[in-house]
Amino acid sequence: MNLNKLIFTENACYKAGRKIKVKGIMVHSTGANNTYLKRYVGPDDGTLGKNQYNNHWNQPMDRAVCVHGFIGKLQNGSIATYQTLPWDHRGWHAGGAANNTHTSFEICEDGLNDRSYFEKVYKEAIELCAYLCKLYALNPLADGVIIGHYEGHQRGIASNHGDPRHWFSKFGKSMDTFRQDVQKLMSGSSVTPTPSDDPPAKLEAGYYRVRKSWQDKKSQIGAYKVLANAKRKADENSGYFVFDDEGTAIYPEKSAAEYGTYTVVSGDSLWRIAARLLGDGRRYPEIKKLNGLTSDVIHAGQKFKIPGVAPDVTAIKVGDTVRVTASNYATGQTVPNWVKERTHKVSQVEKDKVLLGWPDGIASWLPIDGVKKI
């Protein structure tokens, strides 16, 4: 289980401050085709990703709703659990008396047709329930301990919802099999998803290619019509990836080990580095996490790993070719579009700004965060 914590301190439910004695766990699914945790959990902690609509639940809302956790995808596509309320906090999830007895979590739904995604979140949910049962000394097979929202309605302790039965049933699962799987896990048995009875999907054109990198054609060790076969080959060979016909790596998930290195210069801050190299200063927590930093204070000469960028990341220096990303010059004047459309040479570098194109070109100073090396 990949358990993280981001408590919804701005949700009115948390502010109500009521506690319960946890007697059970209620399983929900969201009822919306959106697998990403950032839809519900926020603000971005560097791994969730930015919610462009800012409609997460960690803020005042126009409806009384709040669960104790969510299961779904992180920004990088991997599966995780986020705890969003203390487990013994009285949540607003059941629409009935179960709020007084059951802790809860939501599983982010997709289009209800992806077995691979379902199996991953189903397994994560089993592990979460096993963890909670051990935490509160609960028997997962006892009556009313682990229930779906629809079962809560049948018992008269929850509102009329059909989750998660409508989803589980599509893949041969039920709350009964779910409870049994939790018990198996708690007993020390590993729980593996049931293999699909459906034939594996095949490409009509092109191949899934297994290589170390898309550019390294000589490293290719297989080309497959069936994705599952390509994944199996990659799993058998460390350092290999599955690429689609366009050259995009689709398996396994991009490793945090894929990073560039950057040497801090005078005047840098984590925010500035993230803005310049990752395109958004708010992504600085990703740099902190990758480098094990416990403070925002950095010093010139430090070397940092930078996630998801080329290995040869360096500070912008005189002679570099750059594009302008800033909206305004260092003087505050607006940068015209034709300037952004062209490339420019760095003529001079100061603490927080660069001079471009002197003596030829635009001959203008821009914030150092407003240019991107190419």
Rounded Cα distance, 171 and 194, in Å:
9
CA atoms within 13 A on the CB side of 284: 16
Burial class (CB in 10 A: 0-12, 13-18, 19+), 119: middle
Q: Give the three-class secondary structure for 218.
A: helix
> What confidence score (pLDDT) does residue 304 get?
83
> What confidence score (pLDDT) does residue 8 get?
96
Tokens of residue 254, six digits: 């991009």
> What confidence score (pLDDT) does residue 312 get?
45
Residue 139, number of CB atoms within 10 A of its CB = 13
Q: Which domains does the chain have, with CATH numbers?
A: 3-186 (3.40.80.10), 208-251 (no CATH), 256-311 (3.10.350.10), 316-374 (2.30.30)
Rounded Cα distance, 99 and 66, in Å:
10
Tell me if 98 sits within 8 A of 49, measured CB to CB. no
Q: Give the three-class secondary structure for 38.
A: helix
* Residue 337 vs residues 214, 323, 328, 330, 355: alpha-carbon distances, Å: 34, 11, 11, 16, 18
Rounded Cα distance, 203 and 230, in Å:
12
> What confidence score (pLDDT) does residue 190 get?
62
> What confidence score (pLDDT) does residue 202 get?
60
Q: Give the three-class secondary structure for 354.
A: strand
Scanning the chain, the segments in alpha helix (DSSP H) are 12-16, 115-135, 149-154, 165-168, 175-186, 227-236, 270-277, 284-291, 337-341
> What confidence score (pLDDT) does residue 257 get?
42
Mean pLDDT of successive 10-residue stretches along the chain, which has 374 residues: 94 95 97 95 92 93 93 94 96 96 97 92 96 95 96 94 93 94 87 49 74 81 85 81 77 57 80 77 82 84 72 65 84 85 83 73 78 78
Name 102's bridge partners: 24
Say which residue the tokens 């509102």 belong to: 159
> What confidence score (pLDDT) does residue 182 get?
95
> What confidence score (pLDDT) does residue 253 get?
56
> What confidence score (pLDDT) does residue 33 get?
92
Tell me if 8 sits within 8 A of 92, measured CB to CB. no
> What confidence score (pLDDT) does residue 154 get?
94
